[in-house]
């Protein structure tokens, strides 16, 4: 934007009106009037350019091209600037095999973007003086206990929200995923999780710590997390189509279904899994139009229309870096203007093109979401998709590049090539593993001697039984994990989980003592979301 345009935008409109009255009194009225009208048109044009910040038609074309490239069934996006939604559109279909199209009101799981709501809810209590960020967790949740007494006694509310507990990323997620455990059950069982880092030294993304944070809200307010989120945010922000549980959102037809997508194959429609027992970390269901209201409020220092939803000082605290996230040495080659990355209180922050960006992502079964804000530009974006893919992250960088007029990278192609390479490497590893196994070996024992009940202090019991001539593994705490075992080599078996299309096959290894009696079972199903090796299983009968 040139200097003259900036001047016109900030010039007092009253001065322009006074100038109009002046020239009307002069002989050269029409000539000067034409000048003033032109001036006002420049004002309007410049203001529009500032609102948009980039070519939405170009963005639209880019999204259309790449939704097809990534074979994404459906995607929706909304862009907010200067307290206005300047772009909102849906692409593709809600469910493979059906014709219903995605629009700005189509519902998706926003997953971990829920964390921004939980952190904001706690900030209200801080502003009211009912809690402090440095308050000890055990003062509100007496049954809270972790791997170490010092950590248990010194964990603060801020620690919960900034992923510095000492647990590794996604530690303990098998405790809540598809299980019958209550929120309290999950928190009590977390004490068996082994740390990977020293307390407050290293970033380790923890859904369970956000669950604990949600329980603090209930402890302080005597209100459920769900009702508190509804009353403090969803109702005043007019997020009328946003739900805290899948039990409620099933009443609407305009919802996207999750999909498992393998490039070159037909998408597989998945069913929604209840996340009620981990709700404060990821249960919200929403649309880009509803989430635009959330973004508008966050960019307006907590204000929405005439209401003060959040305290501006507390938003500053939410956006303040707490835990450093390492940037790999190879990253500057591709992200030349990115110098730091940190997690705040329910938000992640980084710098890009010289500005501070606040962002969060979300991943649920068959869905990926991305939200980012540029507070100093009053600019924010929400992207929702109904398959697992990297396009939302690619679009985030592409949109920022567009906004700052510095496009030099096709981010979708960058991530797509990375994705394809990883898929190819995975196939090579599977082939090598298959070729290296010793197919001449047999199990040490008859199959029935491996059967029985195995117990994990952290997870619970898993049974192994004979179904006809095959071994079947049953995760008793879970309603979805059942797997069939086939011999691999020696006392190791291959496991394929039934009805879980988003997890690969894995291995189950049995440990025998000196009398050839099975004492232990080890499960390893390599995937980026759940660590099955955390389940230490010993045979009890």
What's the rounded mean pLDDT across residues 183-195?
98
Question: In terms of residues, how long is the chain?
Answer: 541
Average pLDDT over residues 155-170: 98
Non-local CB neighbours of 21 within 8 Å, separated by 6+ positions? none
pLDDT tens digits for 258-280? Answer: 999 999 999 999 999 999 999 99
Domain 56-425 has CATH 3.40.710.10: yes
Report CA-CA distances (Å) from 202 to 118, 166, 354.
22, 7, 26
The whole-number average pLDDT for the span 226-233 is 98
Predicted pLDDT of residue 48:
31
What residue ranges in 377-469 does DSSP mark as E strands?
379-385, 452-456, 460-467
37-51, 368-382, 419-433: range with lowest mean pLDDT: 37-51
At residue 24, the pLDDT reads 38
Q: What angle do CA 475, 488, 445 make, to 5 degrees?
A: 80
Q: What is the mean pLDDT of residues 194-213?
A: 98
Average pLDDT over residues 449-475: 97
Task: For 187-225, give one letter per residue: b (16+ CB within 10 A) or e.
Answer: bebbebbebeeebbebbbbbbbbbbbbbbbbbebbeeeb
Residue 499's pLDDT band, with cuts at 50, 70 and 90, is confident
CATH number for region 447-539: 2.40.128.600
Mean predicted confidence (pLDDT) in 339-366: 97
Q: What is the predicted pLDDT for the residue at 53?
A: 54
Residue bearing the bigger pLDDT, 54 or 503: 503
Phi, psi dihedrals of residue 106, rounded to the nearest 5°: -70, 135
Position 46 pLDDT exceeds 60: no
**Nearest CA-CA partner of 346 in 509, 494, 233:** 233
Number of helices (H), then strands (E), belonging to the chain: the values are 16, 22
Model confidence over 212-221: pLDDT tens digits? 999 999 999 9
pLDDT digits (tens, 9 = 90+) for 100-140: 999 999 999 999 999 999 999 999 999 999 999 999 999 99
- Determine what percent of the chain is predicted with pLDDT higher than 90: 85
Mean of pLDDT over the chain: 90
The per-residue pLDDT for 103 is 98
Extents of the domains making up the chain: 3-52, 56-425, 447-539
Cα separation, 123 vs 125, whole angstroms? 5
Give the residue-averaged pLDDT of 366-374: 98
């Amino acid at each position: 934007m040139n200097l003259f345009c900036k001047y016109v935008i900030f010039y007092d409109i009253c001065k322009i009106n006074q100038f109009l009255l002046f020239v009307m009194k002069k002989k050269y009225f029409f000539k000067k009037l034409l000048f003033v009208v032109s001036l006002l048109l420049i004002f309007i044009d410049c203001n529009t350019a500032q609102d948009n910040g980039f070519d939405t038609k170009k963005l639209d074309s880019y999204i259309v091209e790449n939704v097809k490239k990534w074979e994404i069934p459906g995607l929706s996006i909304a862009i907010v600037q200067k307290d206005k939604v300047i772009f909102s559109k849906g692409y593709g279909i809600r469910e493979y095999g059906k014709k219903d199209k995605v629009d700005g009101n189509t519902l998706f799981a926003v997953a971990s973007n829920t964390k921004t709501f939980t952190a904001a809810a706690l900030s209200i209590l801080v502003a009211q003086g009912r809690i402090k960020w440095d308050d000890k967790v055990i003062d509100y949740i007496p049954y809270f206990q972790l791997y170490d007494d010092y950590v248990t006694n010194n964990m603060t509310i801020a620690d919960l929200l900034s992923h510095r507990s000492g647990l590794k990323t996604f530690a303990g997620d098998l405790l809540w995923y598809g299980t019958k455990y209550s929120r309290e059950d999950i928190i009590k069982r977390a004490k068996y999780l082994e740390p990977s880092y020293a307390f407050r030294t290293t970033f380790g993304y923890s859904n369970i710590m956000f669950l604990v944070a949600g329980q603090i809200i209930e402890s302080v307010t005597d209100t459920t997390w769900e009702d508190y989120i509804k009353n403090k945010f969803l109702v005043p922000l007019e997020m009328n189509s946003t739900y805290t549980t899948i039990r409620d959102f099933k009443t609407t037809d305009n919802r996207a279904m999750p999909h498992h997508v393998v490039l070159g194959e037909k998408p597989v429609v998945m069913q929604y899994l209840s996340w009620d027992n981990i709700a404060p970390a990821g249960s919200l269901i929403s649309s880009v139009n509803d989430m635009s209201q959330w973004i508008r409020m966050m960019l307006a220092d907590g204000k929405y229309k005439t209401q003060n939803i959040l305290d501006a000082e507390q938003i500053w605290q939410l956006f303040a870096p707490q835990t450093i996230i390492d940037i790999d040495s190879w990253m500057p080659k591709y992200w030349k203007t990115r110098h730091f990355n940190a997690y705040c209180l329910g938000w992640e922050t980084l710098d890009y093109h010289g500005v501070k960006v606040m962002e969060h992502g979300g991943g649920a079964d068959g869905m990926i979401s991305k939200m980012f804000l540029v507070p100093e530009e009053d600019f924010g974006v929400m992207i929702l998709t109904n398959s697992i893919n990297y396009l939302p992250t690619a679009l985030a960088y592409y949109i920022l590049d567009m906004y700052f007029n510095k496009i030099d990278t096709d981010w979708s192609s960058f991530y797509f090539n990375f994705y394809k390479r990883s898929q190819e490497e995975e196939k090579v590893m599977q082939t090598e593993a298959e070729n290296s196994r010793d197919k001449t070996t047999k199990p040490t024992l008859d199959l029935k001697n491996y059967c029985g009940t195995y117990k994990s202090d952290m997870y619970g019991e898993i049974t192994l039984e004979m179904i006809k001539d095959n071994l079947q593994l049953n995760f008793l705490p879970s309603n979805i994990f059942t797997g069939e075992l086939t011999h691999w080599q020696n006392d190791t078996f291959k496991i394929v989980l039934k009805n879980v299309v988003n997890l690969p096959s894995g291995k189950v290894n049995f440990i025998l003592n000196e009398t050839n009696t099975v004492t232990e079972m080890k499960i390893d199903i390599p995937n980026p979301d759940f660590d099955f090796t955390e389940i230490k299983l010993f045979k009890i009968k």
